[in-house]
Amino acid sequence: MPSAEDRLQELRAAIAACRLCRDNPARGEGHRLPHEPRPVAVLSTTARILIAGQAPGLRVHESGLPFNDASGDRLRQWLAVDRETFYDPSNFAIVPMGFCFPGYDRHGSDLPPRAECAPLWRQRVMDAMPQIELMLAVGHYAQRWHLGAECPKSMTETVREWRRFAARNFGTAVLPVPHPSWRNTGWLRKNPWFEAELLPFLRARVEALIH
């Protein structure tokens, strides 16, 4: 019988080979992925923390390393971990809602995660990592998927209610946070409770779960 690691390795290989958004785009997307897909995800049989992001940016697409950019620097600051700790798959699984860089819109901003990805892969990934105890839902795309009907309409409302989701006594606790993009610096200034109240809780949970 295949081990859990063998099954996860099969899933990694299947994700790496996926070309759905290039070859069979979902209705409503309007276009195929404009470049060769490069799925980026870190799956783990031992990590107890899952970082559920949005989709890779261009730098991540080029390097194949998740959060290998300024957003990653801020995220690691929030977690109070260094790069070595962050990229150790025994500490963190990192699985965005869309595995591939979606390209840019006409204003030069990253497009949303591709619509094809999560329906095909999300539940399979979650089922393959039952040991996850804490999910960091980064941005509203991840929050809407993983909180479902419980998710408030806005990202700010969702993050403001973080205690309700983090206190779940069944399944995986979900901690919603904004995307660590530097474009959200204004949001952080307007919502000082995030750094004063949520981040200490997050750092304490991370320290407990990776040691």
Write out the CATH class of domain 4-209: alpha beta
pLDDT at 33: 78
DSSP β-bridge partners for residue 93 = 50
DSSP-derived 3-state class of residue 176: strand
DSSP state of 184: G
Query: Beta-carbon neighbour count of residue 104 at 10 Å?
Result: 13
pLDDT at 110: 81
pLDDT at 67: 96
Which residue's entry shows tokens 């990229």?
87
pLDDT at 21: 87
The pTM of the whole model exceeds 0.75: yes
- Sketch the domain layout of the chain as residue ranges: 4-209
Q: Note whether 96 and 40 are within 8 A (CB).
A: yes
Count, residues in the chain: 211
pLDDT at 30: 62
pLDDT at 18: 95
Q: Give the DSSP H or E segment for 93.
A: strand 92-94
> Residue ranges of the chain with pLDDT lower than 70?
27-30, 168-171
